[in-house]
C-alpha cells in the first residue's frame, strides 16, 4: 500500500521543485494536459480515400460536362448530410478562351450563428486537358484529377463528417470551389490574366453571405499523393505567415515534420490567392510542391496519370489529422 504512494509523492516533489526553477512550467504543463484531453475525433483515411474514389468514378469533372453536373449534385448531397446550412452558388463565368462555363461553388456552414469562424476549402473540378502528359496525343484529354482536386475535397468531406459528430468551439465553413483548373493551356497563344480559380474569384466578389468573414482560411490542393511534401507556399507566407506557422507546427507535433517542410516554396496562384486579395481573409495553401519536376508539382500533375493510383492513405492521414487538430485547438 505504502509503495503505491511513493511515485505520487515523488512526482509531487518533482513538480514543486521544477516550478520554483521555472515559474512558467506549471502553466505550460496545464496547457499540454488540456490539448491531450480535448477529445479530437479520429480522422479516418479510408473514409477520405473512399470520398476521392467516388468523385473520380464520375469521370473527369470538367465544367459543362455531364460528369461535372452529376458529381456536383452528389457532392452537394454529401456536404448536406453533415453541414448545418448548405449554400449552392450557381453562375456563369468566362474562361480564358471565351468558353462560358456553368459553375457551382458548394458551401457547407457549421454553427452558422458562431461569429468565430474558420474557412476550409478545396477545388472540386478537374482539368480539361492533360497538357503535361508525356504522350502528346493526350494533351487535350481531360484528367481524373484524383490528387489535383478530389484529394482536398475527400479530406474535407471526412472532416465534415467528424465535426458534425462532435461540435468544435469554432464555426466552420467548407467551400468546394469550382473551375479552379480551367486555366490557360500551356500551348495556347491567348494571354489572359486570372485564368485560374474562376469559382474562387466569383465567391470572393460575391460571398454566400454579404458580410462574410473568417479568422483565417486553409486551402487543400493536391494533398493525397504518396511521398507528398508541403513547402511554405509564398503567397501564404505573404498574407498569412502566422497561419502557416500554426499549421506547420501542429503537423510537426503530430510527427509529420518530414512532410510539412520548413523550407520556402514558390508563389502559386490558386484559390487562396483571391480569397486573400479580394476578401482579405488570411488564407494559406497546403499544396504538394516538388523541386525535381519541370513544373514544380507532383510528377503526375496535369497528366492522365493523376488517377487513383497516386493516392496514398498515409498522406491523407497526415493532412487530415493536422487539420483536425488545428480545428479543435481553436
**Which residues of the shown chain bind Zn ion in the complex (CB under 5 A)?**
127, 148, 181
Q: How many CB atoms lie within 10 A of CB 246?
A: 17
Q: How far is the CB of 215 from Zn ion (least distance, A)?
A: 28
SS3 track for 170-192: CEEEEEEECCCCCCCCCCCCCCC
Q: How far is the CB of 267 from ligand AHN (least distance, A)?
A: 9
Q: Does 256 bind ligand AHN (CB under 6 A)?
A: no
Beta bridge mates, 86: 108
Query: Based on CB atoms, which residue is closest to ligand AHN, 82 or 182?
Result: 182
Q: How far is the CB of 270 from ligand AHN (least distance, A)?
A: 4
Query: Based on CB atoms, which residue is closest to ligand AHN, 144 or 270?
Result: 270
| Pairwise CA distance, residues 213 & 11, whole Å | 47
Place of cell 473520380: 56
Q: Which residues contact 230 (CB under 8 A, 6 or more apart)?
A: 223, 251, 259, 260, 261, 265, 286, 287, 288, 289
Query: Based on CB atoms, which residue is closest to ligand AHN, 268 or 324?
Result: 268
The residue count for the chain: 330
Q: Does 240 bind ligand AHN (CB under 6 A)?
A: no
SS3 track for 70-135: HHHHHHHHHHHHHCCEEEEEEEEEECCCCCEEEEEEEEEEECCCCCCEEEEEEECCCCCCCCCCCC
- Report what 144 binds from Zn ion, ligand AHN, none; CB cut-off 5-8 Å by kind: none
Q: Tell me, by CB under 6 A, how many residues bind ligand AHN.
A: 7
DSSP 187: T
- Comparing every residue's Cβ against ligand AHN, the nearest one is 269
85-94 and 100-110 strand pairing: antiparallel
Q: Does 173 bind ligand AHN (CB under 6 A)?
A: no
Cβ proximity of 179 and 198 under 8 Å: yes
Q: How far is the CB of 218 from ligand AHN (least distance, A)?
A: 15
Q: Does 132 bind ligand AHN (CB under 6 A)?
A: no
- Report what 269 binds from Zn ion, ligand AHN, none; CB cut-off 5-8 Å by kind: ligand AHN
Query: Based on CB atoms, which residue is closest to Zn ion, 148 or 290?
Result: 148
| Pairwise CA distance, residues 70 & 92, whole Å | 17
Cα–Cα nearest to 270, from 69, 65, 121, 111: 121
Query: Based on CB atoms, which residue is closest to ligand AHN, 89 or 289?
Result: 289
| Coil vs helix vs strand at 323 | helix
Q: Does 254 bind ligand AHN (CB under 6 A)?
A: no
Q: Which of 125, 178, 181, 233 binds ligand AHN (CB under 6 A)?
A: 181
Q: Does 247 bind ligand AHN (CB under 6 A)?
A: no
Q: Which of 125, 131, 144, 148 binds ligand AHN (CB under 6 A)?
A: 148
Cβ proximity of 324 and 159 under 8 Å: yes
Q: How far is the CB of 127 from Zn ion (least distance, A)?
A: 5
Cβ proximity of 256 and 322 under 8 Å: yes
Query: Based on CB atoms, which residue is closest to ligand AHN, 133 or 270?
Result: 270
- Report what 312 binds from ligand AHN, Zn ion, none; CB cut-off 5-8 Å by kind: none
Q: Could you say which residues in the range 184-203 bind ligand AHN, by CB under 6 A?
A: 196
| Pairwise CA distance, residues 14 & 330, whole Å | 31
| Pairwise CA distance, residues 295 & 297, whole Å | 6
- Report what 133 binds from Zn ion, ligand AHN, none; CB cut-off 5-8 Å by kind: none
Q: Does 299 bind ligand AHN (CB under 6 A)?
A: no
Rule CB under 6 A: which residues touch ligand AHN? 148, 181, 196, 221, 268-270
Amino acid at each position: 500500500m505504502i509503495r503505491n504512494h511513493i511515485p505520487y509523492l515523488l512526482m509531487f516533489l518533482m513538480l514543486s521543485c521544477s516550478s520554483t526553477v521555472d515559474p512558467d512550467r506549471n502553466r505550460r504543463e496545464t496547457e499540454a494536459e488540456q490539448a491531450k484531453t480535448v477529445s479530437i475525433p479520429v480522422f479516418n483515411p479510408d473514409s477520405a480515400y473512399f470520398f476521392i474514389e467516388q468523385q473520380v468514378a464520375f469521370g473527369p469533372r470538367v465544367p459543362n460536362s455531364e460528369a461535372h453536373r452529376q458529381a456536383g449534385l452528389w457532392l452537394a448531397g454529401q456536404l448536406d448530410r453533415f453541414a448545418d446550412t448548405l449554400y449552392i452558388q450557381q453562375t456563369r463565368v468566362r474562361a480564358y478562351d471565351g468558353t462560358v462555363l456553368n459553375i457551382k461553388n458548394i458551401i457547407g456552414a457549421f454553427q452558422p450563428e458562431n461569429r468565430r469562424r474558420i474557412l476550409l476549402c478545396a477545388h472540386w473540378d478537374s482539368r480539361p486537358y492533360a497538357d503535361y502528359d508525356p504522350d502528346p496525343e493526350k494533351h487535350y484529354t481531360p484528367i481524373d484529377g484524383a490528387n489535383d482536386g478530389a484529394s482536398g475535397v475527400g479530406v474535407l468531406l471526412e472532416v465534415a463528417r467528424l465535426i458534425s459528430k462532435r461540435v468544435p468551439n469554432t464555426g466552420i465553413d467548407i467551400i468546394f470551389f469550382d473551375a479552379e483548373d480551367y486555366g490557360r493551356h500551356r500551348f495556347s497563344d491567348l494571354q489572359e490574366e486570372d485564368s485560374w480559380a474562376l469559382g474562387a474569384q466569383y465567391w470572393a466578389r460575391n460571398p454566400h453571405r454579404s458580410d462574410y468573414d473568417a479568422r483565417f482560411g486553409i486551402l487543400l490542393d493536391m494533398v493525397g499523393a504518396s511521398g507528398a511534401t508541403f513547402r511554405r507556399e509564398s503567397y501564404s507566407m505573404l498574407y498569412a505567415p502566422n497561419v502557416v506557422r500554426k499549421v506547420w507546427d501542429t503537423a510537426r507535433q503530430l510527427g509529420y515534420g518530414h512532410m510539412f517542410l520548413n523550407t520556402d516554396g514558390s508563389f502559386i496562384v490558386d484559390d487562396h490567392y483571391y480569397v486573400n486579395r479580394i476578401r482579405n481573409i488570411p488564407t494559406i495553401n497546403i499544396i504538394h510542391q516538388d523541386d525535381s519536376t519541370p513544373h514544380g508539382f507532383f510528377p503526375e500533375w496535369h497528366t492522365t496519370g493523376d488517377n487513383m493510383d497516386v493516392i496514398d492513405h498515409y498522406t491523407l492521414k497526415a493532412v487530415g489529422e493536422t487539420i483536425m487538430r488545428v480545428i479543435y485547438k481553436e
